[in-house]
Amino acid sequence: MSSKLYPLFANVSGRPVLVVGGGGVGERKAASLLESGAVVTVGAPEITPTLRQWAEAGRIRWRQGRFDDDWLDEPWLVIAATGDADLHARIAALAQSRRLWLNVVDDTERSSFHVPAVIDRAPVTVAISSGGHAPMLARLLRERLELLIDPVTGPLATLLGDMRAGIRRKLPDMAARRRFYDRALSGPIQSLLRRGQRALAEAATERLLESFDAPLQGSVILLGAGPGDPGLLTLRGLRALNEADVILYDRLVSREVLALARRDAECVEVAKQAGNHHTTQEQIHALMLQHARAGRRVLRLKGGDPFVFGRGGEELEFLRAHDIPYEVVPGITAALACAAYAGIPLTHRDHAQSVRLVTAHCQGSLDTLDWRALAQERQTLVVYMGTSELAVLREHLLAHGRAASTPFALVENGSRPEQRVVVGTLDGLVKGAEQYAVRSPALLILGEVAGLASSLAWFGRPPLASSAVSPVTALTA
Ligand code: SAH
């Protein structure tokens, strides 16, 4: 192909389009044409069961039989997907002489139009073409953009479209309109639409029409970064990382996750370490407030999920009290990630009907726990903790009747390349942690299901078995 393609979006709504070929490819083409409102005819001797259903339901017309020249009398566009090169050559020659736009699937030479790879955020469509040179590359780009283009783009375009005439009337000056749109496209309107609050989004747009030159209103997104593996981040989280002006992150957030942040975002570590609080919770609150009041989009980034032992609740209470708008994006909490990456199902029909998440960060928090309930059988206990509290934990559980033979798994650096899993039984818990010098961040999974780690492990190195300790020595240790 010599010259470059002229991009164009065709309005096929209510217009006849012909698909020659009734196999899987023909079916996919017919489906996307139907979505665009085309009047679809599929011409082929045989068609797929789905196409047949559509024909019976009157959604498409089926011209049963071999291709005939007069099939080309009606349509505006033709797609040939028969796999028969001779037939394709014949259709191409006919289409050329009749000035009909033709796409021959996987045949750049014979096609007069190409069907791009599409990111659908109706009414917004992003189309990518490699001009027939490298369809795989176009597909790869599509996948990347699919992740980056927020689903809220569609509702936002619809809303702005519905209000467009009013906006023009209100702001006849083009420069003013541009300033308005700059604001409208980056502010709270999207955030409201994302929550499904269309009426409030409309009201916010009206308000913005009055005050788009006022100082920017900042906001905070509370984002769960997951346990470390950046692949466990949500798509919404990835987009938030791409849009942030300031990122306040905790020590547990992995470097790989931070690497996904917008290049020019200001990243501030607000490290909190047990017993060594570099930044107090009050200082974190003050930082959020200061940046949000300066009109910035603040990302408060926390390990795991912000609402699981993450003090996310306190931060929202503070933001609400100071009238700072916020959103919450969940993350994969350590319990889910460590269990998954250690091959431990948290519930199992044969072993555990319930899961409890508890934290044992200090003696104080241990004293308030309901040990009788925690020591129950057939439940999985997941303990977020300082590894220093293992001895107290073991002692209390044994004293309240949990069997000394209950399996445990200690997952250190879960989901990260350096992940280690130490397995054993409750009596040997402390010894096992010492034997392998288990360090923070580590998570304890205790219960019958932990015994499955040895057979179901799949990630990183195989579990390390702690040497057996007799219950008697263990109890007195
Ligand atoms: N909000 C976080 C938990 C914060 S409390 C979440 O939802 O995961 C901190 C504790 O979480 C750590 O002491 C450790 O017990 C656990 N933890 C967090 N990330 C971990 C990881 N990658 N591997 C093992 N444990 C982890």
pLDDT digits (tens, 9 = 90+) for 168-227: 999 999 999 999 998 888 778 998 999 999 999 999 999 999 988 888 889 999 999 999
Q: Comparing C-alpha atoms, which of 274, 229, 226, 231 is closest to residue 249?
A: 226
Quote the CA–CA distance of 46 and 81 in Å, as a whole number: 13
User: What local confidence, expressed as pLDDT, does residue 9 receive?
Assistant: 95
Of 280, 296, 329, the domain-final residue:
329
Range of the structural domain that residue 205 is part of: 153-210
In this prediction, residue 475 carries a pLDDT of 43
Residue 265 lies in a domain: yes
Measured between alpha carbons, how far is residue 145 from residues 132, 153, 166, 182, 234 in Å? 19, 13, 32, 21, 15
* Count of residues making up the chain: 477
Closest CA to 319 of 295, 292, 297: 292
Does residue 241 sit in the same domain as residue 347?
no
Q: Is 312 in the pocket of ligand 1 (CB under 6 A)?
A: no
- Using the 3D structure, point to which of 183, 210, 237 is the last residue of a domain: 210
Closest by Cα among 12, 132, 17, 26 to 78 = 17
For residues 461 and 415, membership in a common domain is answered with: yes
Average pLDDT over residues 80-99: 97
State the average pLDDT over residues 375-400: 92
DSSP for 67-109? --GGGGSS-SEEEE-SS-HHHHHHHHHHHHHHT-EEEETT-TT
Least confident of 37-41, 208-212, 420-424: 208-212
Catalytic residue list: 250, 272
Which pLDDT score is estimated for 468? 60
* pLDDT band with cut points at 50, 70 and 90 for residue 473: very low
* Mutate which of 358, 384, 439 for ligand 1 pocket (most atoms within 8 A of beta carbon): 384
Q: How far is the CA of 397 from the centre of ligand 1 (A)?
A: 21
Domain identity same for 325 and 366: no
- 346 and 323 share one domain: no
Confidence band (pLDDT; 50, 70, 90) for 256? very high
The position carrying tokens 């998570």 is 443
The finding on whether 341 has its CB within 6 A of some atom of ligand 1 is no
Q: Are 169 and 249 within one domain?
A: no
Q: Are residues 374 and 443 in the same domain?
A: yes
Q: What is the pTM of this model?
A: 0.79
Q: Is residue 2 one of the residues assigned to a domain?
A: no
Q: Are residues 225 and 315 in the same domain?
A: yes
Statement to judge: residues 90 and 180 lie in one domain: no
Q: Is residue 145 one of the residues assigned to a domain?
A: no
Residues 93 and 190 in one domain: no
> Tens of pLDDT along 40-67?
999 999 999 999 999 999 999 999 999 9
Q: Which two tokens stand for residue 20?
A: 């020659």
Q: Look at residues 170, 192, 210 and tell me which one is the last residue of a structural domain.
A: 210
Q: Does 431 map to a domain?
A: yes
**% pLDDT > 70, the chain:** 95
Q: Where are the alpha helices (DSSP H) in 294-333?
A: 312-321
For the segment 101-125, the average pLDDT, to the nearest whole number, is 94
Average pLDDT, the chain: 92
How far is ligand 1, taken at its centre, from the CA of residue 412, in Å?
A: 9
pLDDT of res. 275: 53
Same domain, 432 and 372: yes
Position in ligand 1 atom list of the atom nearest CA 227: 22
Domain count along the chain: 4
